[in-house]
Amino acid sequence: MRGRVSTMLKNWIIPIQPEKEELEERLKEARERLASLQMKLKEHKLPVLILMEGWGAAGKGSLIGKIIKNIDPRFFKVVTMEQSDQEERRYPFLHRYFVEIPEAGKFALYDSGWMNEVCMKRARKEIDSQTYQQRVHCIKRFERQLTDNGYLVMKFFCHITQEEQKKRMEALLAHKDTRWRVSESDRWQNQHYEKCEKIFGKYMEDTNISTAPWYIINAEKKKWAQLQVLETLCNGIDIAMQNSSHAVPILQNVFPLVTMPKLSEISLEEKTISEEEYQAQRKELQAQLRDLHNRLYRKQVPVIICYEGWDAAGKGGNIKRITEALDPRGFEVQPIASPEPHEKARHYLWRFWNRLPKTGHITIFDRTWYGRVMVERLEGFCTENDWQRAYNEMNEFEKDLYDWGAVIIKFWVQIDKDTQLERFTARQNTPEKQWKITDEDWRNREKWDDYEKAVDEMLQKTSTTYAPWYILESVDKKYARIKALKIVIRRLEEALN
């Protein structure tokens, strides 16, 4: 019989299955097409993320096995996710998915992922409707950020009926060797099929965005399922490769902002402190911070401290006065230089997702993701559309961290142009400090005005109430250090009370 129509998950309709002969022919064609596309993918530097979701026992794993058969092993990885373990729970919800995103020119195939996690938790009432909504928002932002940044995101849902699922599970359970493949969750799903179907359907409606739509696969017949996935995938790749440098709308900010001054409005005068006063206050404040760090650890609060500022503004020394007070087992300083090739090949926030603290830990970033709207903007390392979009993307990133429970403190270390010149000259003239000054520093200094404009815009657009910027006036470095210590202490106390 040529084709049969079946209604799935309310409104979703499967394509009509071709006859056996046509099926075989198209399968052969699709496999060859995918095999040849992988090389073009490489040239186009297109990263492809394939999310394979669906019912338990729908054959997601074997489907992934069939796809990768046509791809060179150097060009793909399969990402499997078990129930999030203890360690994973110490990171934000999307962390374990984000760190696995593919690099440019390669495939990552997720053997179920964030959909399954959210939907099954919702079905089993482990999260309430509000948390569900929050996660869906978070997922939509995640997927949009990927596609906005040039990723191809292909989302498949493998569908089988309740009867078919039961039949397959029974077949697996009947043999000692395959019994382990039926999880408790699969069994629960089959017993609560209708409930799950409703939740899956709603989720797919909620997340069916035009840049990363859902494709429902009829997985009752294996070869037919394979063909649907292969053809849809090849079409998706073809389309994505046509859009190598595509600009996307700049979204309006939806996060609450605090007012920030322009750099030119910040007075640097009288922001000084005597050596005596400094030593007394420093000791006192560091003792307080030491105590807070212990309490943080017990309360499992993650803390992220960001440093940005002019060259020679005194970031290093400032950071040191913070870390001196911290238990070395509970913090890390992450110096951020230009991205490595494997970092450049991924979403620009990827390397920061990879450097997050665990709950209860502190990470200090010496320079941050804000390089996107400063050096990358001014040196033309990304397009205008990229950096304009980045303000919102970074607010979203920090919102995810905040929702996870993190304290986020962002410092701009401020000096004036003359002070910088003095310090540059001093470095140049002091043999043991010469390594600290490079030609690049002098070149950047020439662009002071452009940088100042970019910094002003950054401060205006990314100082959210949940992750505000603080200015550290650092002509007197000691003053800046005391101010930083006080701010960190205040924010941690707020988080702990």
Positions in the binding site for a second copy (CB under 8 A) = 2-5, 7, 11-13, 15-16, 144, 147-148, 209-216, 232, 235-236, 239-240, 242-243, 245-259, 261, 385, 388, 460, 465
Question: Smallest gap, in angstroms, from Cβ of residue 279 to a second copy?
Answer: 37
- Give the helix ranges, DSSP H, for 10-85: 20-44, 60-68
Question: Smallest gap, in angstroms, from Cβ of residue 388 to a second copy?
Answer: 8
- Which one, 13 or 35, has the nearer CB to a second copy? 13
Nearest to 414 by CA among 267, 270, 273: 267
Phi then psi for residue 430, to 5 deg, are -115, 110
Question: Smallest gap, in angstroms, from Cβ of residue 209 to a second copy?
Answer: 6
Q: Are 226 and 27 in contact (CB under 8 A)?
A: yes
- Which one, 254 or 337, has the nearer CB to a second copy? 254
Give residues with Cβ within 8 angstroms of 126, minimum separation 6.
none
> Would you state the structure tokens that stand for residue 348, as one six-digit string?
């620009």
Task: Give the whole-angstrom CA distance, residue 146 versus residue 397.
Answer: 12
**Taking the CA of residue 464 as centre, how many other CA atoms within 13 Å lie in the half-sphere pointing to its CB?**
21
Measured CA angle at 396 (ends 461, 248), to 5 deg: 80
Task: Give the whole-angstrom CA distance, residue 427 versus residue 409.
Answer: 29
48 - beta bridge partners? Answer: 107, 152
Question: Smallest gap, in angstroms, from Cβ of residue 455 to a second copy?
Answer: 16
- Which one, 84 or 460, has the nearer CB to a second copy? 460
- Which one, 323 or 385, has the nearer CB to a second copy? 385
Question: Smallest gap, in angstroms, from Cβ of residue 286 to a second copy?
Answer: 34
Task: Give the whole-angstrom CA distance, residue 339 versus residue 337.
Answer: 6
- Which one, 6 or 80, has the nearer CB to a second copy? 6
Question: Smallest gap, in angstroms, from Cβ of residue 53 to a second copy?
Answer: 14
- Which one, 206 or 332, has the nearer CB to a second copy? 206
Give residues with Cβ within 8 angstroms of 124, minimum separation 6.
188
Question: Smallest gap, in angstroms, from Cβ of residue 447 to a second copy?
Answer: 23
**Taking the CA of residue 354 as centre, how many other CA atoms within 13 Å lie in the half-sphere pointing to its CB?**
13
Task: Give the whole-angstrom CA distance, residue 449 versus residue 444.
Answer: 10
Q: What sign results for the dihedral spanned by CA atoms 403, 405, 407, 408? A: negative
375 - beta bridge partners? Answer: none
- Residue 320 CB neighbours (<10 A): 11
- Which one, 207 or 419, has the nearer CB to a second copy? 207
Question: Smallest gap, in angstroms, from Cβ of residue 126 to a second copy?
Answer: 25
Task: Give the whole-angstrom CA distance, residue 247 versus residue 383.
Answer: 9
Question: Smallest gap, in angstroms, from Cβ of residue 285 to a second copy?
Answer: 30
- Which one, 248 or 489, has the nearer CB to a second copy? 248
- Which one, 148 or 473, has the nearer CB to a second copy? 148
